[in-house]
Chain A
Amino acid sequence: AQSVTQLGSHVSVSEGALVLLRCNYSSSVPPYLFWYVQYPNQGLQLLLKYTSAATLVKGINGFEAEFKKSETSFHLTKPSAHMSDAAEYFCAVSSGGYQKVTFGTGTKLQVIP
């Protein structure tokens, strides 16, 4: 069994401020972890993924996430928010690649100018 919990359905940050989107997972096997972003009227796009290699994963658009097994977390961060980062972000877990991916409820990021 696997599950994902995203804390905070809405997060607001000022432009230039740190972005932190939280994700905790539960998995009975070593997990594959993903962050997807969804811009308005578009499909989900993969931001980054963890597949048992380096625990600090760098993705597109300056985002990164750190896999912490002891905390069962995979929080998404970006040092400086940009207006174009406003979107909905989904954390996801699977037990193997794209098979049976379980998504979190999403976090809508608002960037305030």
Chain B
Amino acid sequence: GAVVSQHPSWVICKSGTSVKIECRSLDFQATTMFWYRQFPKQSLMLMATSNEGSKATYEQGVEKDKFLINHASLTLSTLTVTSAHPEDSSFYICSAPGSRDNEKLFFGSGTQLSVL
């Protein structure tokens, strides 16, 4: 079945540095990729929707200059957390709709970001 591969699974970085998270769709083309963030004991919150070849759409309250999203190909979307701060520490997860089943989302395994 369709798989979304997400890397890295965890990352620790110093405050002020940037971190890139990659999501690749394996065996299918992902024209759309959703990026979520989950704080402990809270639900997954949609941050932004990336579309291949166009600008990402950000949810209200999400800083587009801080969370840079690039979706340059049909199989790769990246989220870069720029100038990360401790409050950015969270679990980030991507998902893409299946090409054959529009109701079905395929999720990456998530990235746990810890900013010191």
Q: Residues of A with Cβ closer than 8 Å to B? A: 4, 9, 32, 34, 36, 38, 41-46, 49, 51, 90, 97-98, 100-106
Query: What is the CB-to-nearest-CB distance from A41 to chain B, in angstroms, rounded to a whole number?
Result: 6
Give the CA-CA distance A11 to B102 in the complex, in Å: 31
Query: What is the CB-to-nearest-CB distance from A18 to chain B, in angstroms, rounded to a whole number?
Result: 25
Give the CA-CA distance A45 to B2 in the complex, in Å: 11
Q: Residues of B with Cβ closer than 8 Å to A? A: 4, 6, 9, 34, 36, 41-44, 46, 93, 95, 97, 102-110
Give the CA-CA distance A97 to B36 in the complex, in Å: 17
Given contacts A41-B109, A43-B110, A51-B103, contact A98 B43 (CB under 8 A): no
* B103:A32 contact, CB within 8 angstroms: yes
* A97:B43 contact, CB within 8 angstroms: no
Q: Which of A46, A90, A97, A100 contacts B44 (CB 8 A)?
A: A90
Q: Which residues of B contact A106 (CB under 8 A)?
A: 43
